[in-house]
Amino acid sequence: AANSAAATQQPPAYPRTSLSDTGTTKRPRDARLLHLVLANMGVHAYSERVPLQLLDFAYRYTSSVLSDALSYGEPAPAPSGKKGASSGEDSGVSLAALRTAVSAKAAYQFQPALPKEFLAEVAGERNRVALPRVEREYGVRLPPERYCLTGVGWGVRDEWESEGGEGEKMVGVQVDAVMGGMGAAQEEEMDEDEE
């Protein structure tokens, strides 16, 4: 009966916190050490996932630094004819390669933000130079306002409502006259060119 009760026990609806842990649960040594470090720093309430996330970060960071240190290390010497001499030496990671890997990772992964004073100084120098005036005919030249769709609405809906059922008969020339078709546009362009 005890096994079936343990098997049917569902996980809580919310993540457990460190306050609900009595300390008698079996945890890995590293998780216990992180619990002690967090308690020493004054952090007593946290989700159970926090030590796991910290362990995951520590593992990824350590393995990345060690793999970088292996690539920074001196190449292995060529194998010699003596079997006894080479088996005694283990080509590990040198301290210099490890320091180089740590400093390289700190240089590009943990870059601090630039100081605010420096950024304010750069912004002040940049803002001293005024922007050039926008000329009247700067950029793309648009046609006159009456030919742009950015102008006043065309009022097409009002025309359609007033026509009602007659719209089917009037498909040709009269619609062009109402909406200012191509012929009217060419005449207006000629008038503007003459002015």
Could you report the per-residue pLDDT of 97-108, keeping only the tens digit for each? Answer: 999 999 999 888
The answer on pLDDT for 160 being more than 80 is: no
Residues 79-93: b if buried by 16+ CB within 10 A, e if exposed: eeeeeeeeeeeeeeb
125 band by pLDDT with thresholds 50, 70 and 90: very high
CA atoms within 13 A on the CB side of 5: 2
**pLDDT the model gives residue 30:** 86
Structural domains of the chain, with CATH? 2-74+93-125 (1.10.20.10), 145-164+175-194 (no CATH)
Q: Is 17 helix (H, G, I), strand (E, B) or coil?
A: strand
The answer on pLDDT for 129 being more than 60 is: yes
**pLDDT the model gives residue 176:** 46
What are the structure tokens assigned to 176, written together? Answer: 């062009």
Share of the chain above pLDDT 90, in %: 22
165 band by pLDDT with thresholds 50, 70 and 90: low
Q: What is the mean pLDDT of residues 151-156?
A: 60
What letter represents residue 7's amino acid? Answer: A
Beta bridge partners of 17: 47
The tens digit of pLDDT for each residue in 28-75 reads 888 888 888 988 999 888 888 888 899 999 999 999 999 999 998 877
Q: How far apart are CA 39 and CA 78, in angstroms?
A: 51
More confident residue, 9 or 120: 120
111 band by pLDDT with thresholds 50, 70 and 90: confident
**pLDDT the model gives residue 193:** 55
Exposed/middle/buried for 51, CB within 10 Å: 0-12, 13-18, 19+?
A: buried
Q: What is the mean pLDDT of residues 125-148?
A: 79
Instruction: Calculate the alpha carbon distances from 76 to 68, 88, 127 in Å.
Output: 16, 14, 56
